Amino acid sequence: IANDALVDLPAPANISAWWNFGSLLGLCLAAQLITGLFLAMHYTADITMAFSSVAHICRDVNFGWLIRNMHANGASFFFICLYLHIGRGLYYGSYLYKETWNIGVVLFLLVMMTAFVGYVLP
């Protein structure tokens, strides 16, 4: 079973490293969700306590500084992978598959809206 799934798996001849960015997007999204949940456990959204809770996360929570930086830099890495994924789709003509492309455009717009909400937070 492993031989059929890993070694003898049929793949197109033009496959290259450019096709990895969809999987990297999923990995980045999972990392963003996990780090965001850990940050949400310690973050206080009150206007008088927001800055103090971020300082608490960075100073007092074990590896809180690392989780916060992973979350902040992970968002940038997510968008780098997203734009490279879109660029690969444009280069290889993936826009010819209308339904798949339209779903991608809707997902892109949802990601942009979600990112706006995330960037507004401190």
Q: Are 31 and 70 in contact (CB under 8 A)?
A: yes
pLDDT of residue 110: 96
Count of domains for the chain? 1
Residues in the chain, pLDDT under 70: 1, 5, 9, 122
Domain that includes residue 104, residue range: 20-120
pLDDT of residue 19: 85
CATH number at residue 45: 1.20.810.10
Q: How far apart are CA 122 and CA 54, in angstroms?
A: 8
Q: Is residue 48 included in any domain, yes or no?
A: yes
* pLDDT tens digits, one per residue of 11-43: 777 788 888 898 999 999 999 999 999 999 999
pLDDT of residue 45: 86
Q: Is residue 84 included in any domain, yes or no?
A: yes
